[in-house]
Structure 1
Amino acid sequence: MALINQGKPVSSYFPVAQPGNTPVTIGETIQCRHPSTCVITYGICTHTFTMLWANVPDSFCLHSYGRNAIQLKNALESSFPEFKHSHSVKFLLIKETEKPSG
């Protein structure tokens, strides 16, 4: 067994999958609403990655979502109609922030 001197990270960053043509820009304030709980999380988009579904690495999806790329694609298509005809996906990396004032 290998020993690595690093524990599980605690991060304020999280990915969000959107259809490939979603118009979100780096630096934009994002309001994320959990579809089941309706809990709102606020953040800033720090990075975007757009790729064809066929090129999405399973390792990224397993790490971020606990399922491989095909499973993630199928789950998104069954829950969100906007994914059904999208051949690409845009992953947004969001840094969680406090609720914006105003």
Structure 2
Amino acid sequence: MPLNNLEKDKPLPIKQAFRHLIFFQIKLFADAIRDLLFSPISLLAFACDAILKPSVKDSFSYKLTLAGRKSDRMINLFGEYTASGEFTIDETVNELESALLTELNKRRAQGKEE
């Protein structure tokens, strides 16, 4: 749950702040990896466009821009795309967290039974 879903007037619980920190670090990492990949790809796209001279809509640079926009929505670094209905890292992290908590609760229950 991003911090923007919390009640704004109440004190921030330390667990929520820590969760937000981890969540944000994951998104920052994904954003950095994307940038590292897109930088050399953009140089290659420019070179191909300079040689092939395609129309704007068919250019590699334009297609890279579209891919960048899509990856921005997927990474959703600042929670801007919560209502977009598209896949985001938020969904993946929430599902992973839910699965881990379910497994942890199962193991705790098994430990109490023994």
The structure that has the greater radius of gyration is: 2
User: Structure 1-normalised TM-score?
Assistant: 0.21
More strand by share: 1
User: Structure 2-normalised TM-score?
Assistant: 0.20
Higher relative contact order (Cα pairs below 8 Å, separated by 6+ residues): 1
